[in-house]
Amino acid sequence: MNIVKYKAQSLELQKKLINHATRNGKKSKSEKAIMKSFKAAQKSQRKNHGKIIKLSVLNAIPIFKIIKLTDKKRRKKSTKEIPTFVSNYTSRVSLGLKYLIKTTRSLSSSKQANFSEKFKNELLSGTSSENNASVMKTNFQTKACQEKKYFRFYRW
């Protein structure tokens, strides 16, 4: 029973990841690139790619997210950055996947030209919590703690 549940969870993660990686409605391209990176990661680590994905996503899952609110009533349009607690687990996982893809796209190196190579390296570095997505997560968490005076606006 646990094996069936494990496979269903890893397939759900793959589907979410493919949906977040899709650009301009070309789902087949993102699916090919992600599957290529999964296979390359599995060959280099000799572990199931489902476990590799789960570890890297687990290290990238945030607790807080920051919402920017603009005050439109005044002449000076000021923005407030309000930290909010992400209570739903599925939305946490979705944010973690978005962080992984965002950091993968922001990497720019001449050796790693294609998305699948960058994503493979991001996944493999994510298992040891040294990837750019976990750094991005910690930056958001420290920023949320600095803006804790705005927690009173959050509806608990």
Is residue 19's pLDDT more than 80?
Answer: yes
Span 112-127, pLDDT tens digits: 568 888 888 888 877 6
Is residue 142's pLDDT more than 60?
Answer: yes
> Cα–Cα distance between 48 and 11 in angstroms, integer?
13
> Cα–Cα distance between 117 and 72 in angstroms, integer?
44
Give pLDDT, residue 86: 82
Alpha helices in 22-131 (DSSP H): 27-45, 49-60, 89-106, 115-126
What pTM was computed for the model?
Answer: 0.73
Q: Which two tokens stand for residue 38?
A: 């999964």
Bridge partners of 67, per DSSP, are 82
Q: Mean pLDDT over all residues of the chain?
A: 78
Mean per-residue pLDDT for 25-41?
Answer: 87
- Give the angle subtended at the CA of 86 by the CAs of 41 and 57, to the nearest 5°: 5
In the chain the domains, ranked by start, together with CATH numbers, are 45-153 (1.10.455.10)
Which is higher by pLDDT, 126 or 64? Answer: 64
> Cα–Cα distance between 118 and 122 in angstroms, integer?
6
Give pLDDT, residue 140: 76
How far apart, in Å, are the Cα atoms of 59 and each of 2, 18, 52, 70, 150? 23, 19, 11, 31, 26
Q: Which two tokens stand for residue 32?
A: 């090919």
Give pLDDT, residue 20: 84
Is residue 33's pLDDT more than 80?
Answer: yes
CA 1 to chain centroid, in Å, comes to 29
Span 70-94, pLDDT tens digits: 877 777 778 877 777 788 888 888 8
CB contact at 8 A, 103 and 20: no
Give pLDDT, residue 1: 46
Which pLDDT band holds residue 151 (cuts at 50, 70, 90)?
low
Which pLDDT band holds residue 111 (cuts at 50, 70, 90)?
low
Is residue 8's pLDDT more than 70?
Answer: no
Give pLDDT, residue 91: 84
What CA dihedral angle connects 39, 44, 45 and 46, to 10 degrees?
70
